[in-house]
Amino acid sequence: MNNEQINSNKKDRYLDILSSIKTDTDAVQFSSSLNKLAFSLYETRESINQKISRFLSNEQKDKIILYCKEHGINIDDIISFQKFISELDAAVKNLPKITLFLAYEPRDESVSIISDWFILNLKQKILLNIEVDKKIVGGAVIVYKGIYKNYSLKNKLDRMLSENKLNFNYLQTGEVNE
């Protein structure tokens, strides 16, 4: 098994824990919370359960505790729990990212739909880096692993203009050259 397959298996293993992480910003915040939790483990004034509650959402806390129970990770054993946190943080940092340029700031529901589409169609968790660019008018520009795809309305209109398929003189009548 090569390193890419091992990293993929770890990401798949943590898929439920990472389900609420949709964007690059979400991932940075979650990673920061994990690091704060890891540094707090050796403080003795709170239980580990209280520390998890202090740094993570209730949903994340519940998923982590369930994962640890299912996989035999004792959260009261600081060394094994810290190793788990470190592996989880590494999995978050190794998630692939896609940049989407949109003409508007999408709502949370739209971000979830887009994120879920990647899981369903590409069979992997992908972090979204969403940039707003009102110049694209509509549609999207997608950048993934160095590949740039322009599916914007502006691009389509520019192409139609350059190919003489759209003539502004006829816009009042609605005619388009075919």
Q: pTM for the whole thing?
A: 0.78
pLDDT at 172 over 90: no
Q: How many CB atoms lie within 10 A of CB 64?
A: 23
For range 21-30, the mean pLDDT: 96
Separation CA 35–CA 177 (nearest Å)? 59
Which tens digit of pLDDT belongs to each residue from 88-112? 999 999 999 999 999 999 999 999 9
pLDDT at 171: 53
Q: Which residues pair with 151 in a beta bridge?
A: 140
pLDDT at 177: 55
Q: Average the pLDDT over each of 29-33, 34-38, 170-174 and give the range with the smallest value.
A: 170-174
Alpha carbon separation from 82 to 41, 50, 77, 116, 138 (Å, rounded): 8, 15, 8, 30, 45
Separation CA 115–CA 15 (nearest Å)? 13
